[in-house]
Structure 1
Amino acid sequence: MRKLLGKNQRPCVLSHRDSLSVRVSAKGTITWQYRCRVGGKQVIISLGRYPGLSIQRSARLHTSFSKLDKPRQRPTPRT
C-alpha cells in the first residue's frame, strides 16, 4: 500500500478481506472502509486513513464491527 500512498491516480476500491476494503482517492489518500448491511441497506463505514490506521488495527476494528453486525439469537432455554 505504500506504493499507492500520495500518488495521483484513478480512484479505486481494493478489497482486503471479508467486508474490509481500502479506498484510494485520486490524490493517493488511502482510507480503510467496512461494509455492512443495516436494515437491509448497504452501509460503508470509514475506519480511518492509512498509515495512521495500520493493517493490524483495521483488522481488529473489522472484527469488532462484524461481531456487532451479526443478528442476535435468543438463547435456548436449558432443560
Structure 2
Amino acid sequence: MNKNKKQIVYEREKHVSVLRRNRQLHKVNILILSIGLALSYIGYEGIGEPILWLGIITFAYTTVTSFNARKQLKM
C-alpha cells in the first residue's frame, strides 16, 4: 500500500476505536449515574451529588467525542 492509503486506514481505525471505547464508557456511565441517583435518593446527598456530576461530565465528554468520531468517519 502507498503512504496515503495507509494514513487513511490508520485514521479510520483510530475513529472506530474511539467509538468502541465510548460505547463501553456509556455502559459504565449508566452505572455511575444510577449509583449517584440511588445515593441521593436514600439520603446521602454529600456522596451522591458529586457522583452524579461525574456521570454528567462523563456523559457529555463521550457524547461529544462520539459525535466528532462519527463526523470524521463520514468524510
In terms of fraction of residues, the more helix-rich structure is 2
The normalised TM-score by structure 2 is 0.29
Structure ranking higher on relative contact order (CA contacts 8 Å, 6+ apart): 2
The normalised TM-score by structure 1 is 0.28
In terms of fraction of residues, the more strand-rich structure is 1
Q: Which has the larger radius of gyration?
A: 2
